[in-house]
Amino acid sequence: MENSGKNNSRRNFIKKACISGSCFCGFLALVNDGRAEEQPDSGKLLMQEWISTLLKSIEDNTEASQQILKNCAHVHFRHLEMEKVLKPYKGDIDKFISFLEKEWGWKIEYDKSTGVLLANENKDFCVCPMVNPEKGVDSSILCYCSEGFAELMFSFVSEQKVRAEVLSSIHRGNNNTSIYKKNTCIYKVML
């Protein structure tokens, strides 16, 4: 009986850690016990396989699955230090749009009267750093993370809560949104 209590406690810990997006911060050190020096890619391969299995398991498109992936965007946003990148554009959405078009090659349509913005990444490949089709990490559910990232960016710049939705993506296909013909990632951002 005592052993099942420990197993339930461990399961709950891993579940909570993974939902919060922090399960690999220290977990690999616990299970690796020195083998990382012998096999430098073993941790990375473990993470890729683990993430691939997780994504395939939650591809049910429930609201909970969507929210879990949107929450993961916070990790990427912090890792890239996006607040520093976006600081010069804070409070100036037009200046930010100009930056996105000039520096990132995006195409933007912005209707100021409705506060709706269509942001086209204008690329024929997925820019998500988690996508790795060779290792099985290639899932359309990752687009919810991209929605979360877009929400974080535009919320920071506009200084208000925004909502973003992926209308078209490399993984989900193109639904002929707007004037864009090629398969690309397009977000609808509601300011």
pLDDT digits (tens, 9 = 90+) for 102-113: 999 999 999 999
Count of other CB atoms within 10 angstroms of residue 153:
24
Q: Looking at the domain assignment, is residue 167 inside a domain?
A: yes
Q: Looking at the domain assignment, is residue 118 inside a domain?
A: yes
Predicted confidence (pLDDT) per residue in 80-131, tens digit:
999 999 999 999 999 999 999 999 999 999 999 999 999 999 988 888 777 6
Residue among 185, 11, 191, 22 nearest 105 (CA): 185
Contact between residue 115 and residue 190 where contact means Cβ atoms under 8 Å apart: yes
Predicted confidence (pLDDT) per residue in 23-54, tens digit:
444 444 444 444 444 455 666 777 777 777 77
**Residue tagged 């974080």 (tokens):** 152
Q: Looking at the domain assignment, is residue 17 inside a domain?
A: no
Residues 6+ positions from 75 with CB-CB distance below 8 Å? 21
Q: What is the total count of domains within the chain?
A: 1
Q: Which amino acid is at 49?
A: E
Q: Looking at the domain assignment, is residue 54 inside a domain?
A: no
Q: Looking at the domain assignment, is residue 123 inside a domain?
A: yes
Count of other CB atoms within 10 angstroms of residue 9:
10
Contact between residue 47 and residue 24 where contact means Cβ atoms under 8 Å apart: yes
CATH number of the domain where residue 85 is located: 3.30.1380
Q: How far apart are CA 97 and CA 154, in angstroms?
A: 10
Give Dmax over CA atoms of the chain in angstroms.
Answer: 64
pTM of this prediction exceeds 0.85 = no
Q: How far apart are CA 168 and CA 184, in angstroms?
A: 7
Q: Looking at the domain assignment, is residue 15 inside a domain?
A: no
- pLDDT grade for 143, boundaries at 50, 70 and 90: confident
By residue count, the chain amounts to 191
Residues 6+ positions from 125 with CB-CB distance below 8 Å? 170
Q: Looking at the domain assignment, is residue 178 inside a domain?
A: yes
Q: Looking at the domain assignment, is residue 13 inside a domain?
A: no
User: Which structural domain, as residue segments, surrounds residue 93?
Assistant: 62-190
Q: How far apart are CA 125 and CA 152, in angstroms?
A: 22
